[in-house]
Structure 1
Amino acid sequence: MDHALKCMERHSKQSARPGVGENLYMTGALDVDKVKMAMKSSAAWWRELAKYGVGPSNNFTVALLDRPGTKIGHYTMVTPMAWDTTYRLGCGVSHCSNMTLSVCHYRPGGNYINQLVYAIGDPCTSDSGCPGSYTCSVAEGLCNVV
């Protein structure tokens, strides 16, 4: 992940990653285990998605972007994590001089106006409701990769 290695506290230029969504997470701690940092950053992004949400319509709209009091700049980079057409993911964690930085790229980037973020299905209620070796997070109603 070249952008993580640059240790920049801002998103890379969209022109440098056409069609690719990007998430950033940073902490002032310099001795963070890279695997734990990756897990912590993805959990923080999911919390932000849960906090601001896309609403019951599950539709990514201009009105959603214009809501007052939301961190829309970052939020629009969080939704690719949930976008059901996103199928490629790459992440990098770098220890920088003043922070530890986590960067993830998603392809395709999602955030298509007036499109559903994901197909809504029945929530799982047990591991048997999930494919293969996935496990069910009953609280979320989602199947998790083991």
Structure 2
Amino acid sequence: MLKMQWSHEAATQAQSWADQCHYGHSSKSDRRVAGQSCGQNLLRTVSGPFSWDDVLKIWSTDEARSFRYGHHGNSMQTVGHYTQMVWASTYQVGCAYRNCGYWQIYVCHYCPSGNLRGEEMRPYKSGSSCSACPNDCEGNLCRNYCPYVDYYSNCDSVSRRHDVCSRPGISSFCGATCKCKGKIHS
């Protein structure tokens, strides 16, 4: 699991969405940082402003109690905020708040996006901390993130059979696979 870092760009996008006072997810095209799609967690409250600590506890602690690793009986509506927060290849976050009169909205963007279809109930690899980064670990979190993107979902599997990284026409679409050996990427 990667150590999170604050993203000013993700926070600016989250603020732009919060300022609209619309409780629903923004389009994926409005949530991109450095070419990568970002996930989005939302919370609407009517009982007065919450502290960010309380917001994060609602998304993490409360939902973590319902989460069972690898169990496809988990409902994304019940655990989706939590799985986005602990997604192994997510390493940037930016959040925003807006008072919308009678209610408040909290928005966080997580980049790159987690909750990938078919992998939702395995947001990280089960095992000991930092097993994916034994030489680049801080506080039981990995720091070996990859800033590149694979634009094709099968780059990793195809590269095992063919040398895609030496072919310019293909390697530009498989940046993470070709440029991030030994690093964590989505």
TM-score, normalized by the shorter chain, greater than 0.5 = yes
Structure 2's unaligned 5+ residue stretches are 1-14, 130-136, 142-186
Tell me which of 44, 62, 78 is aligned to 1:26: 44
Task: Return closer, same or farther for 1:102/1:114 CA change in 2, 3 Å cut-off.
Answer: closer
Of all paired residues, the percent bearing the same amino acid is 26
SS of alignment partner, residue 65 of structure 2 = helix
CA contact (8 A) 1:21 1:110 kept: yes
Structure 1's unaligned 5+ residue stretches are 123-129, 135-141
Matches within 5 A, 1:1-146: 1-17=15-31, 19-30=37-48, 32=49, 36=51, 38-55=52-69, 59=70, 64=72, 67=73, 71-73=75-77, 75-112=79-116, 113-114=118-119, 116-119=122-125, 120-121=127-128, 131=138
CA contact (8 A) 1:21 1:77 kept: no
Q: What RMSD in Å do the two structures reach over aligned CA positions?
A: 2.9
Amino acid of the structure 2 residue aligned with 1:81? M
1:114 and 1:29 mapped to 2: Cα distance? 35
Normalising by structure 2, report the TM-score.
0.51
Deviation of 1:72 after TM superposition, in Å, equals 2.0
CA contact (8 A) 1:23 1:78 kept: no
Deviation of 1:77 after TM superposition, in Å, equals 4.1
Structure with more of its chain in strand, by fraction: 1
Deviation of 1:74 after TM superposition, in Å, equals 5.8
Normalising by structure 1, report the TM-score.
0.63
Q: How many residues are paired up?
A: 114
Residues 88-140 of structure 1: CA deviation (Å, up to 9, x unaligned): 10000111112111100001111232484224325xxxxxxx94xx6xxxxxx
